[in-house]
Amino acid sequence: MIANPTERFTGRVESYRRYRPGYPAEVVETLRRECGLTSASSVADVAAGTGLLTEVFLAAGFAVTAVEPNEEMRAACASLEQEYPQLRCVAGTAEATGLPNASIDLITVAQAMHWFDLDRTRAEFARILKPGGWCAVLYNNRRPGGDPFHEGYERLLQEFGIDYMAVKGQHMGRKRLAAFFAPSPMQSAVFENAQSFDYAGLEGRILSSSYMSQPGQPRFAEMQAAAGRLFAETQRDGAVTMVHDCVVCWGQIT
């Protein structure tokens, strides 16, 4: 496990909220259909962060309990309550959500499963899910190559990321996720999810990653210069496009 995952994003909340990719609306419609969700279904978004996935479910009309241990990120998520009164934000972790027994129809986890103690998380999810409830795990997997921008961005992370390779190696692939759901079967779907950035947006996207230096930290100026060169060499009409494969895996936990 990477040390202290709860606090890794402290100080990065604004860049995370503004520059991390959201989630396609097709995710909600797929889970609505495949998991038999209704307007009365209760959703818990665990490790909700700033609410990037939470907001997609709220916009689709669901009541969502957002569980987030980091105080700064939870406060950013709670700002959505002004527009969505059906949102409730609580302090908690995947291993100890604080939610009542058998109270949730769907648990979602977006871009965070690799931070969890999986055995304790599985037990906790089984506790809070209603009989017949579902769990969905989502990852926006950035394409690491295929064109000069994506290849250059991957090189930049490898060169300047403090522990990038360790975090990358911990990400959950489908085989590990299937083991989490076993013996229940796991289903999956993939949606293309792209972002367009000007240079400020590209820098913000870099700073949203917990393994990259922030202003005043070692190698920040060197990293910033490399990012500027990457943008200058690969931009078209003042923008670069970062493409993700949004992978959604769902199943029941028995």
Q: In the chain, where does DSSP find H-type helix?
A: 13-19, 25-34, 52-59, 71-78, 118-128, 148-160, 164-170, 174-181, 199-207, 220-234
pLDDT of residue 46: 98
Q: Are 128 and 104 in contact (CB under 8 A)?
A: yes
Beta bridge partners of 186: 251
Q: What pLDDT digit, counting tens, does each position of 146-171 carry?
A: 999 999 999 999 999 888 877 776 77
Question: For the chain, which domains are there?
Answer: 5-251 (3.40.50.150)
| pLDDT-based confidence at residue 225 (cuts at 50, 70, 90) | very high
The secondary structure of residue 236, as a DSSP letter, is B
Tokens describing residue 169: 């190696």
Q: Identify the CA nearest to 54 among candidates 24, 29, 87.
A: 87
pLDDT in tens, 85-141: 999 999 999 999 999 999 999 999 999 998 899 999 999 999 999 999 999 999 999
Q: Which residue has the tokens 């977006």?
A: 110
User: For residue 221, what pLDDT is reported?
Assistant: 94
Percent of the chain with pLDDT over 90: 81
What's the helix, strand, coil split of the chain in %, to 5?
A: 40, 25, 35
Least confident of 64-68, 73-77, 111-115, 209-213: 209-213
